[in-house]
Amino acid sequence: MTAPFDDLPRTPLAHLPTPLASMPRLSEALNGPALWVKRDDCTGLGTGGNKTRKLEYLIGRAEAEGADTVITFGAVQSNHARQTAAACAARGLTCHLILARKVPWQDPTYERLGNVLLDRMFGAVLHLVEADAVNSTYQSLKSELATANRRVFVIPTGGSNGTGALGYAACALELIEQAAEAGLQLTDILHATSSAGTQSGLLAGLALAGRLEDIRVHGINVSEPADAVPALISRIGELADDALALLGSGITLDRDAIRVDSSFFGDGYGLPTPATLDALRLVGSTEGLLLDPVYSGKAMSGLIGKIRAGHFEGSESVVFLHTGGSASLPVYGEAIVR
């Protein structure tokens, strides 16, 4: 970790650095550029995933403020909620998860297996509610916990605020160092973008390192319908600026560096497209790598689609940031296995 991060509250939770591995068989199958994967599915906490990097700073701040209880939010099969529950278990914090029924996925085990099963195993208190009841549930819970004199720290959906984005600012620096050690000319990073924290952090880290001119970050939109994408792009910029301010950098993000592609979104959040399912099977059969149907699989369908369209012609190498999520595979199994 570099000096700008040293004075910020942080609770070590992740196995870092995560591996940077080549994907030669996938590169060959696609006849594309050299493909690499940044294995943030291997962060270790509660089966791993990208939220663990964010939670190091969020839980760090919660503990610095003397919290004994954490509340956070997500969809029913939220990877963020699962990792938050695991982090709280590891640190002895009470965890409340407000999980919204916002994905119309018709599997009888959707609210029992996958991430939900792990949430319960990690000891979290689950509040499964309809999407329009999230705020009222939160307000009631907050009042109840205040009456009980609990010291509550609230983490936003996806752990995505300026504090959470610090995790991916640090990741960007980690990745730059790994690429240099591997003799890799890093030109492009592609990942699933949803609640903005991962992309904003990566961009903040690259800005901090002065590398935005030669390294492009491609966010594949997996969560927002077309009319909400401008707000997503704006939020990415705001969170990047927040992270840069927390780091005392004195700089802001050049908004031209924000790239969000919604071409692979499909019918909605949590609903895999045929291309998503094809990507899961292709990467599994060529690299032995598990993706998930909501985030990393949809992002990989974007990478595959872009390579086939010639988008990365002239790129030296492309790094796919694997954000994790394989815990949800069981509740999508019938769609994946034909």
Q: Assign residue 166 a region: left if phi > 0, alpha if psi is -120 to 50, beta otherwise?
A: alpha
Any idea how long the chain is? 338
Marked catalytic residue, from 22, 27, 78, 160: 78
Domains of the chain (ranges, CATH numbers): 13-49+160-336 (3.40.50.1100), 66-158 (3.40.50.1100)
264 CA to centre of own chain: 17
Q: Which pTM value belongs to this model?
A: 0.97
| Residue 4: predicted pLDDT | 83
Q: Does 328 qualify as catalytic in the annotation?
A: no
Ranges of residues in the chain whose predicted pLDDT is under 50: 1
| Residue 318: predicted pLDDT | 96
| Residue 1: predicted pLDDT | 47
Q: What letter represents residue 77's amino acid?
A: Q
Which residue in 261, 328, 298 sits closest to 75, CA to CA? 328
Contact status, residue 200 vs residue 206, Cβ threshold 8 Å: no
| Residue 338: predicted pLDDT | 65
| Residue 2: predicted pLDDT | 57
Q: How far is CA 310 from CA 30, 263, 303, 304, in A?
A: 11, 15, 11, 10
